[in-house]
Amino acid sequence: MSNKAVAYVEPGVVEVRDIGYPDLVLHDGPGVNPLNVGRKCNHGVILKVITTNICGSDQHMVRGRTTAPSGLVLGHEITGEVIEVGSDVEFIKVGDIVSVPFNIACGRCENCRKQDTHICLNVNPDRPGSAYGYVDMGGWVGGQSEYVMVPYADFQLLRFPDREAALDKILDLTMLSDIFPTGYHGAVSAGVKTGSTVYVAGAGPVGLAAAHSAQLLGASVVIVGDLNAERLAQARSFGCETVNLREHDNLGEQIEQILGIPEVDCAIDAVGFEASGHGKDAGEAPATVLNTIMDITRAGGRLGIPGLYVTGDPGAADKDAQEGTLKIRFGLGFAKAHHFVTGQTPVMRYNRDLMKAILSGRAQIAKAVNATLISIDQAPEGYKSFDGGVSRKFVIDPHGTARKRLEMEASDAVFS
C-alpha cells in the first residue's frame, strides 16, 4: 500500500514522496538514530491520518537552520483513526479517533511517571525527549503522511470520547497535538491568572495560541508583538492588543500607552532562536525576545518560553549563535527575580483538559490561529506561504476526511 508523506529535501524545498506503508518497527532511514534502528513497537498502533499540521518548528528545518538530513519525513502534529493495533496494546481499539502528543514518551521511566513526558528517558538515545519527524529526536517517522506508526499507544494517545463530536470539531481538536498545549504551557509557565497583564512575543500560530490561552486563564489584557501586520490583525480579531515592532523599536513605550505603565505581569516568548531586532532596518538578533521580555516584565514576574531554541544552528550569523550561545542579559533577570520556564511542552499535562474546553465550546483555537485546510499535495505550497508570513495555520488533510465533513455540515446548514 502506498503512503504519501512530506519530506525535507534541502533548504527551502519539501516534496511529497511515497514512503511505503508503516509497520510496528522503527526502520533505518533519514535521521533515525542507529541505536533505534530495528526497535520493535508491539505497544504501538498504525493510524490513518485525519489531520496533520505544519508547525513553525518544521519551518526551522526547512529553512536549513538545523542539521536535519535530506529525506527526513516531517510532521509532529497528528490526529488520526486507529486502523491496526500491536499485540501489546490493551485499551486503544481499531476505530478510535485519537490525538497524538508530539512528545514521544514511554510511560515507564522516572520522568514520564512525573508527567514530564517531554523529557522521556527511553525514546531517544542522544538525549531526554523525542518527537515525530524532527531532527536529533531519535528518528521516529513524521506524521505529515497518509499513515503513521505511533508507539506506546495505551499511554500516549488521547482518545476522543465521541466520534461524531470529534469530527465536528476536528479543526480545533487537531491543535491538541502541539500548538494549543504549547501556547497554554507558555501561559501557565508565565503565571497567567485572573487579572494578569500579559505580553506575548510573536503572532505566529504558537503566539496566537498562547494569547488565546491567556484569555482562557483570565488575563485582563493580552498584548501581542510582532513584525508582521497581517499576523497582528489576526491577534486583534479575537480581542488582543497589538504592537508592530517593525514600526516601533521601544516596546516599553508602547506597553505604557496601552496599560499606563511600561511593564506587564507576565511574558511569553513564542518566537525562539530566529528572532529579529526591532525597528525598520533591524536584522536577525536571536537574543532580542529574551532580553526584551526581561526588560518589560515586572520584578518578581514569570517568563514562559515555549519558543524553540537549539544547540545547533548552521544558518546563524555568528559562531556563538551557531551552537546556541546567545548574548542574554541574565543579570537583568536575576536583578528582577524573574522565574524562567523553558523546554518542550509536556503535552499530556494539558491536552485532556483542553479537549474538554474545545468540545464544550469554551475554547475557539481554530478561529484564533486561522486554521486552513489543504491537501497533502498542497503541502509544499503551504510551507512556502507559511514561510512568507501568511497568518494561517495550515492543516493537511491527507484523505480529504476533514474537508468532506465540513462540506457535509455546510450542506446541512443550507437545508436546515
Please give the tally of structural domains in the chain.
2
The average pLDDT across 109-116 equals 97
Which of 341, 369, 387 delimits the end of a domain? Answer: 341
- Going along 29-88, which residue ranges are E strands? 39-40, 45-53, 78-85
CB 296 within 8 A of CB 252: yes
Helix (H), strand (E) at residue 219: none
- Judgement on whether residues 132 and 258 belong to the same structural domain of the protein: no
Q: What is the mean pLDDT of residues 344-351?
A: 97
Q: What is the CATH number of the domain that holds 281?
A: 3.40.50.720
For 222, list phi and psi in degrees, rounded to 5: -120, 120
Same structural domain for residues 74 and 29? Answer: yes
pLDDT tens digits along 326-343: 999 999 999 999 999 999
> Comparing 39 with 320, which gets the higher pLDDT?
39
Closest CA to 315 of 270, 272, 274, 275: 274
Say yes or no to pLDDT of 415 above 70.
Answer: no
The answer to whether the CB of 320 falls within 8 A of the CB of 326 is yes
In this prediction, residue 1 carries a pLDDT of 84
Range of the domain at 376: 4-178+349-415
Does 353 score more than 70 pLDDT?
A: yes
Same domain, yes or no, for 244 and 334? yes
By the 10 Å C-beta count (0-12 exposed, 13-18 middle, 19+ buried), 145 is classed as buried
Q: What does the pLDDT look like over 199-241, one tens digit per residue? A: 999 999 999 999 999 999 999 999 999 999 999 999 999 999 9
CATH of residue 8's domain is 3.90.180.10
3-state secondary structure of 60: helix
Q: Please indicate, yes or no, whether residues 93 and 127 belong to a single structural domain of this protein.
A: yes
Per DSSP, 376 falls in state: G
pLDDT band at 409 (very low <50, low <70, confident <90, very high): confident
Q: What confidence score (pLDDT) does residue 93 get?
A: 98
Examine the domain organization and report whether 287 and 386 are in the same domain. Answer: no
Q: Which of 311, 341, 371 is the last residue of a domain?
A: 341
Last residue of a domain, one of 341, 358, 375: 341
Tens-place pLDDT, residues 22-62: 999 999 999 999 999 999 999 999 999 999 999 999 999 99
pLDDT at 316: 83
Q: Would you say residue 320 has pLDDT above 70?
A: yes
Residue 372 belongs to what H/E stretch?
Answer: strand 371-374
**Do 138 and 214 share a structural domain?**
no
71 and 124 assigned to the same domain: yes
CA 74/CA 5 separation, integer angstroms: 8
- Whether 262 and 353 share a structural domain: no
pLDDT-derived band at 185 (thresholds 50, 70, 90) equals very high
State the pTM of this model: 0.95
The pLDDT value given to residue 321: 87
Asked if 53 and 67 sit in the same domain, the reply is yes
Q: What proportion of the chain, given as a percentage, has pLDDT over 90?
A: 89
- If asked whether residues 213 and 255 sit together in one domain, one would say yes
> What does the pLDDT read at residue 149?
98
Give yes or no: residues 79 and 166 share one domain: yes
186 and 145, same domain (yes or no):
no
